[in-house]
Structure 1
Amino acid sequence: MLDWARLTRGVVCLACCFVAVSCAAAERVLEVASPDGRVALAVSLDDDGAPSYTVSYDGKSVVRRSQLGVVCADGDYSRGLRRVECSDVIVDRQRYELLTGPTSRIDHLLHRKTVRFANADGNEVLIDGVASDEGAAFRYRFEKPTGERREVLRERTSFRFTTRAKGWLTPYHVAGEHTPNDEDYFFRVAVGDPPIESRAKPAGWAMPALIEPSTSGPAVLLCESGDVGDFCGSHLVNGAEPGSYEIAFAAADETHQAPKSVPFSATPASTTPWALPWRVILVGEPRDFVTATLVTDVASPSRISDTSWIKPGRASWGWLSQHEGPYRREFFDKFTDLAAEYGWEYTTFDGGWWDVDLKETSQYARRQGVRPLIWMYSGDCYDAQHRREKLDHYKACGAAGVKIDFWATQLQQGMQAIRDTLQDAAERELVVVLHGCPTPRGWHRTWPNLLSCEAVLGMESYIYDNRYPEKVAELNCVLPFTRNVAGPMDVTPLRLAPLVDTQRTTTVAHELATPIVFTSGVIHYADGPEAYNALPAAAQTVLREAPARWDESRCLVGEPGKRVVVARRSGDDWFIAGLNGQDQHSEVELDLSPYADARTLVAITDDVEGRDLEIVEAPTVPAKWLHEVPGRGGFVLLLDWRDDQSTAAAEVDPMGSGATKR
């Protein structure tokens, strides 16, 4: 029989949640429905013993019958299977806290079910299925015999949609010096289109992947969740059947940044018991995905018992302002002072810090009440002794955390190095930011000291990609529905001053909205004191008061690639921010009646031409707020915020380092 104590905690048997007939009466069709009854995951077994599944929403298929199964070195678990037993449906109440994400406290119900299969050799595989009000998820699991080594050669999981389906997808790159790193644009494509060669040669499509199976039905977001290090990272390749994608593993040559001594393998392996990653399928309107937490709902609970020392926060970051160096002590002190002036929790000493005395520079930051984050190379993280010596040194110098760069791999051994680094950092009370890394997969629940990951085209792309100025507004209106759903996203927002020969094409209000629209446990502000000190007082209020941790979030408008409006709450204060990803103006009408109890409203918007900032303060909150957002523009609404600062400010060039305040 199944060991439910090991499968989940605090669950209650609920046999009445079966949507299909009982296991004894129906050998082939098993189904579990979400608590609200709208999402259903069904697993079937055909005459050849090949498993498959479907996902439906309100009784209509959103993922058509698709393959299941894995092929291991010890045998095939994708055909010739027979069902051994199945569980009752159980209710799993997931109650936990997140230090970064759309909400700080989660209380969700999941309906779970497990089916046990045996292959022709009598060896067993389990499939765990989950249905929640946000979507469905499933994973493969090996239990017996305990301690036996298993190696997965291939996963046959597929996702099949109608041939008319379209989506927003981003390429997964072949191995290179800095790839894969999940840093590319999202493209509007038809399901089945070949991966686009953009910033590097593509090997497939990365996840999350946003799919719209029809023009009128719900959308689907394909994600991955699981314990970092237990498996390799996966991506999508076009499937053999029209309108389908299949799971593909990291390539054997994703080793460019690791020491040559690391024994990499392209086939993930472990000893039993062994749970493979969750295949997460969010279902609903795209706006629902912005606040969804199913990726962390199925992730393992926190491995850190005391998280009181972990502080999400804002950070000054000088590298983009002087990316070619030189780096002197006064350079780092300047950005430490910026963090102190705005009340930010961190400053990051990025690449080049070795040109100064790290301990003295860190101690100066500490005296200003600012916590230093130290840049670190991923190659220093594979050998346990070397990694711990590095972390001990940074800790002794006064570091509060590390920013680890240039991973460029999703092989299991690279994932294990990330896991071991997170554990060693936690033991030293160091927070972690990953760059040049895989997209997170629920890791920030299991390891809450992981405050952010890059895996996104951030503001540094202004100096690396001449297409970025043209594409960034659209990209900013895709990321909330895709990449940011998977976990914290270090996009390094709010660069106002020009970089090299490129000019920003988004408005100041657009940039000011991004730290609110995006979520990250560390918000690396990408400009310097000259730009921020020239902003109007109300705009500076956003920099001073918008936090890195939110208590509640709502997506008010959600059209991927076109526009997004998000409301986020911290304590009693609401921040509402909107982005226009289009070249043309967009009219936004917001129902503000849910916020009628707010004492004041401060609206920070663009003028009609998108050249200047306009600031309007009102003593009450209107029931409706209507505004025409210019192309590539944005806005921020501050509710319940009492601004005690003067509203007088000098005019500055908004396409340079500041904005006109009126």
Structure 2
Amino acid sequence: MTWNRTGELTMKAWSMTSPNKLLSFFFTLKEKQGVHGIPVYSVTYKNRPLLLDSRLGLQLDGDPSLLDGFTVTDVHRDSYAEEWRPLYGERDVIPDRYSRLAIHLQEKDGNRRQLRLEFRLYDEGLAFRYHVPEQETLSRFTISGEHSQFHVPEGSWAYEEHGAEGEYAKVSVRDLKPNCERPLTVVYPDGTYIAITEAALDNYSRTLFSVHPASPWIIESTLSGLLTGFEGYGLMSENLPEEKNQASVIAQAPFSSPWRVVLVGDRPGDLLEHNYLVLNLNEPCALEDTSWIVPGKLIREMTLSQEGGRACVDFAAERGLQYVMLDWGWYGDPFDDRSDCTRPVNEVWFYNKKEGERTHTLDVQELVQYGAAKGIAILLYLDRRAVEHQIDRFLPVFKEWGIKGLKFGFVNTGPQYWTQWLHECIRKCAEYQLLVNVHDAYRTTGFTRTYPNMLTVEGIRGNEHMPTARHNATLPFTRFLAGCGDYTICYYSDRIQTTHAHQLAMSVIAYSPLHSIYWYDQPADAQGEPETEFFDRLPTVWDETRVLTGQIGEYAAIARRKGEEWFIGTITNELARDLDLPLDFLKQGKAYLATTYNDDLLNKASRTGVSMRITEVNASSRLQAYMAPSGGQAIWIRPKARDLA
């Protein structure tokens, strides 16, 4: 590598390899149709093309764009190899190993503005971001578009979803409609899998994905404003001023974009097993004291009555749950900005028969005290309107009442303004030691690492929609690559489109540190079904996660460990299916007991069509999952009292 007299590097291409040498990355500046200095990268995996030539650049509003005309002025290389322990997660130790290449670009003509591209190549995939350094010729600027490209091989297929609670469809990449949600999972003709997503979204607009209009195998990033036309994007604000609605990003140098991430795997399960890459790209925990952050399970209280609240507390205490959540309407009409959520005794919205007549009230403080006496904490639902207008007023009040957490509903999602607003709300809640569950359109990009009081988010088509079993078998390899998702498990509702054993299994497959169980159920629905002991014993955070087998939209078997106990969830789509599950992940030389919870639709002794069986197993054992159409199987494995000789 040499320098010329203008300070330009004369090397024409730069490359690096992942720590395990399976991924190779290449960067160069290219010329196309008379345009010089275009940043282009490509990636190979096992010496086969993974991403073909893909352009990079930022489109600016009011200034010339940062797309071409560059020279390379400096290059930095280094590597990193550490591991870290999250406060909670899908695994207790996370590797963070990568090769890094930082390319410093400068315009050859004009104002000679600077742009730095930072690339990290992990064994698990690629991450890159843009950085605009402080400079006299570019201070405050507006990013109107981002041209991050992902050029996949011809014949690739993608799992397309629109709206944070949409259904998935397998389509040819060339047929993708604009504004696909992320993560976007792509299957190559040779059987390789990738997932494109983003990490560390904070001071920026949400990124969605579209196909390049002139090149049908190039997926390109799209900055997202406030979109309301898709499933899961509803009930957000409309008629907002431009700065609260626009897709553009207002930036002040020095400025960094979120990370663009490509996960890579030989099988769908590799993507889920490697999804910690998103967390690696976020800042470490910002909280000194995290002792008050306690993952757990909740039941939703829907009657919003004192009697109903007490019944849910009793049920939670009996069944190993930690939280009861009061659902929307407890403080009045959630769609009315005048509804005050700081009154301890409230007129419940949907019980009002006549305007101005108090027909039904709920005493929140009394319920908090009742729950505390039984070790059960109370969470409160708040519509975004209350959060937008009252957060600084209600936080000290809720702290005084003894509330442990909040669920934000229908938050505005997409524009930079609302990303910053939501994250600031989560920071404020941390100051008052309040947990947060964000519902509807928001999806995490790893912010839970930095502020782990955000225990979970929705952004998923779960049992609020009663999805199909095929959709459920798609989620582990698409949506759950982003991290936690509050799927809202149901058990007794007659609207579920799966077997009950499938719902038991989904409580393992769906990762949510704050896990909503019995979503449309009430305590009186339970009639002593023995298999619900599985919910009682289920942890919500894990020391190890393994995907035993799976095909997108067809079936999935996921094993998760907490301490010495394993929980396995296996599901199928609308087809009946038998799967053979080896238990070679168990500790060698040790005996275990396995309780299986199986589809048994002809079992007249079970109104839920579930049977149970206890067997002794070890690392050499294999268990069979016989699943009905839209069925499943759950397994609980724990050590037996003695070790094998």
TM bucket, shorter chain: 0.7 to 0.9
CA deviation profile, 1:261-304 (whole Å, cap 9, x unmatched):
79424311232221101110000021011222111111121121
C-alpha separation in 1, matches of 2:65 and 2:365: 56
**Which of residues 237, 251, 273 is equivalent to 2:225?**
251
What per-residue deviation string (whole Å, max 9, x for no partner) do you get for residues 547-604 of structure 1? 11101111001211001001100011011110112x2221211111332524211111
Q: Amino acid of the residue matched to residue 107 of structure 1? A: P
Distance between the aligned counterparts of 1:372 and 1:456, measured in 2? 24
SS at 2:489 equivalent: coil
Partners of 2:83 and 2:204 in 1: how far apart? 24
Q: Please tell me whether the aligned partners of residues 94 and 110 of structure 1 are also in contact (alpha carbons under 8 angstroms).
A: no
Q: Following the alignment from structure 1 to structure 2, what is the Cα–Cα distance between the partners of residues 290 and 256?
A: 30
Task: Please say which of residues 310-319 and 555-564 is displaced more in the overlay.
Answer: 310-319
Which among 470, 473, 480 is matched to residue 474 of structure 1? 470
Amino acid aligned to 1:302? C
Q: CA deviation at 1:162?
A: 2.4
Within 5 A, what are the aligned runs for 1:323-402? 327-354=304-331, 355=348, 356-382=362-388, 386-402=390-406
> In the TM superposition, what is the alpha-carbon distance from 1:451 to its structure 2 partner?
0.6
State the alpha-carbon separation in 2 of the partners of residues 90 and 191 from structure 1: 34
Secondary structure of 2:617's counterpart equals coil
Give ranges in structure 1 of 5+ residues lacking alignment. Answer: 1-14, 16-22, 173-181, 196-202, 320-325, 463-467, 644-662
Q: Which of 197, 201, 204 in structure 2 is aligned with 1:231?
A: 204
CA displacement 1:128-184 (0-9 Å, x = unmatched): 101111111111011213993232121111212223111212014xxxxxxxxx111
Tell me, yes or no, if structure 1 residue 309 matches structure 2 residue 286: no
Other structure's SS at 1:327 match: coil
1:30 pairs with 2:4: no
Q: Kindly state the Cα deviation for residue 480 of structure 1 after the two structures are TM-superposed.
A: 0.9
1:252 and 1:171 map into 2 onto residues whose CA distance is 14
Q: Give the secondary-structure state (helix, strand or coil) at the position aligned to 2:427.
A: helix
Question: Could you list the runs of 5+ residues in structure 2 that have no partner in the other structure?
Answer: 2-6, 229-234, 332-347, 349-361
Q: How many residues align?
A: 580
Alignment CA distance shift 1:72-1:24 (3 Å): closer
Name the counterpart of 1:54. 42
- Tell me if the contact between 1:92 and 1:112 (Cα under 8 Å) persists in the aligned partners: no
Larger deviation, residues 423-432 vs 332-341: 332-341
**Which of 492, 496, 502 is the matching residue for 2:492?**
496
Q: CA deviation at 1:407?
A: 1.4
Q: Name the residue aligned to 1:96.
A: 85
1:116 equivalenced with 2:104 (yes/no)? yes
Cα pair 1:490 1:522 within 8 Å, conserved? yes
2:339 aligned residue: none
Q: Calculate percent identity across the aligned residue pairs.
A: 24
CA distance in 2, matches of 1:584, 1:253: 35
Determine if contact 2:9/2:73 at 8 Å carries over to the other structure: no
Aligned twin of 1:140? 130
What do residues 83-122 of structure 1 show as CA deviations (whole Å, max 9, x unaligned)? 111112322524231423x213213312222111112321
Per-residue CA shift, 1:199-241, capped at 9, x if unaligned? xxxx521110110121x3310101111142x101010112120
Match of 1:282 among 263, 278, 302: 263
Is the CA contact (8 Å cut-off) linking 2:80 and 2:96 kept in structure 1?
no
Q: Secondary structure at the match of 1:54?
A: strand
CA contact (8 A) 2:206 2:225 kept: no
Map of 2:66 onto structure 1 = 77
Question: Take 1:593 and 1:92, find their aligned partners in 2: how far apart are those partners?
Answer: 28
Residues 545-584 of structure 1: pairs in structure 2 closer than 5 A? 545-581=537-573, 583-584=574-575
Give the aligned partner of residue 617 of structure 2: 620
TM-score normalized by structure 2?
0.85
- The question of whether the paired residues in 2 share the 8 Å contact of 1:532 and 1:540 is answered with no
Q: 2:182, 2:160 → 1: CA distance?
A: 8
Cα distance in structure 2, aligned partners of 1:548 and 1:632: 24
Distance 1:30 1:417 in 2: 39
- Matched position secondary structure for 2:536: helix
Residue pair 1:381, 1:417 contacting (<8 A) in 2 also: no
| Distance in 1 of aligned mates of 2:248 and 2:365 | 42
In structure 2, relative to structure 1, the CA distance for the partners of 1:605 and 1:352 (3 Å cut) is: same
User: Which residue of the partner structure matches residue 200 of structure 1?
Assistant: none
Question: Could you tell me which residue of structure 1 aligns to residue 529 of structure 2?
Answer: 535
CA–CA distance in structure 1, aligned partners of residues 381 and 281 of structure 2: 31
Aligned to 1:206: 181
Give yes or no for contact 1:474–1:561 (8 Å, CA) kept in 2.
Answer: yes
Offset, 1:41: 2.6
Q: Which residue of 2 aligns with 1:273?
A: 254
1:391-441 superposed Cα distances (whole Å, 9 cap, x missing partner) = 222222221010001114210111011111011001111110001232111
Q: Which residue does 2:600 correspond to in 1?
A: 607
Q: Give the aligned CA root-mean-square deviation in angstroms.
A: 2.4
Code of the residue aligned with 2:195 in structure 1: it is L
Q: Please say if 1:188 is aligned against 2:166.
A: no
Query: Measured at CA, do residues 208 and 362 of structure 1 come closer, stay the same or move farther in structure 2, by a change above 3 Å?
Result: same
Structure 1 residues 363 and 141: CA distance shift in structure 2, 3 A: same
Q: Does 1:509 align with 2:501?
A: yes
Cα distance in 2 for residues equivalent to 1:162 and 1:278: 23
Change in Cα spacing, 1:39 to 1:608, as seen in structure 2 (3 Å) is: farther
After TM superposition, the structure 1 stretch with the greater mean CA deviation from structure 2, 51-60 or 421-430, is 51-60
Partner of 1:660: none
Measured after TM superposition, the shift of residue 26 of structure 1 is 6.3
In structure 2, what residue type is equivalent to 1:372?
Answer: I
